[in-house]
């Protein structure tokens, strides 16, 4: 027998080993996918859980001059446009982050700030108003740390709800 003679059994064994290896890798990936898909989104660390809005001093001054700030939702869902409001003189206190549209309307029906009346009015329904602090609207947790403001858009998904579901007032008498 020649030392360079061909053997047909090596190719068959290599094919079996490769097939088993591919099946094992696919099984591990399938199990990992099932395990990750059963988690709530706040537990999957795909990015920041909060929106960093900036420095409180600059934001408070801007809101005092121009009114509340609208932040558009840049996620694919486009469901959580946010209005940032500041009330009072202290930049460390008096912050409110609200869902920018009534919860039962689409995002084109945003809350418009009426500075003379110190209230919000729904763009699509002028009889629908809300107070300056957004009481009764869906609100998000706001945190001030070392002069920096963060809006937690997912606090309710991780723990107790931070939004209120009270109906919006149809007419409001806000002290000026």
Each domain of the chain, given as residue ranges in start order, spans 8-38, 46-158
Report pLDDT for 50: 84
Compare 160 and 9 and report the one with higher pLDDT: 9
Average pLDDT value for residue range 93-98: 96
Give the separation between CA 176 and CA 172, rounded to whole angstroms: 12
Q: 164 or 156: whose pLDDT is higher?
A: 156
Kindly report whether the global pTM for this prediction surpasses the value 0.75.
no
Band the pLDDT of 4: cuts 50, 70, 90: low
pLDDT tens for 74-93 read 776 777 899 999 999 999 99
What the block records as the tokens of 89 is: 């003189």
Instruction: Say what the pLDDT of residue 172 is.
Output: 38
Rounded Cα gap, residues 88 and 132, in angstroms: 11
CB 13 within 8 A of CB 44: no
Write down the CATH number for the domain with range 46-158: 2.102.10.10
Q: What is the pLDDT of residues 23-46, one digit of tens each?
A: 999 999 988 888 877 665 544 445
Is the pLDDT at 164 greater than 70? The verdict is no
- In the prediction, which pLDDT does 92 show? 94
Per the CB < 8 A criterion, the answer to whether 111 and 101 are in contact is yes
Report the SS3 class of residue 168: coil
pLDDT at 75: 72
Contacts of 101 (CB under 8 A, 6+ apart): 81, 107, 108, 109, 110, 111, 122
Strands 119-122 and 111-114: antiparallel
Q: CA 22 to CA 25: how far, in whole Å?
A: 5
Gap between the Cα atoms of 108 and 99, Å rounded = 12
């Amino acid at each position: 027998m020649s030392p360079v003679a061909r053997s047909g059994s090596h190719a068959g064994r290599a094919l079996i080993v490769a097939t088993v290896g591919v099946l094992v890798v696919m099984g591990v990936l399938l199990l990992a996918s099932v395990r990750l898909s059963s988690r709530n989104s706040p537990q999957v660390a795909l990015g920041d859980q909060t929106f960093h809005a900036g420095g409180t001093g600059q934001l408070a001054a801007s809101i005092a001059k121009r009114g509340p700030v609208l932040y558009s939702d840049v996620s694919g869902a486009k469901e959580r446009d946010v209005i940032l409001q500041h009330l009072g003189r202290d930049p460390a206190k008096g912050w409110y982050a609200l869902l920018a549209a009534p919860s039962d309307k689409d995002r084109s029906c945003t809350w418009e700030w009426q500075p003379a009346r110190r209230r919000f009015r729904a763009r699509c329904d002028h009889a629908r108003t809300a107070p300056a602090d957004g009481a009764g609207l869906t609100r998000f947790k706001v945190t001030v740390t070392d002069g920096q403001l963060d809006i937690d858009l997912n606090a309710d998904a991780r723990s107790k709800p931070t939004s209120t579901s009270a109906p919006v007032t149809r007419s409001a008498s806000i002290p000026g």
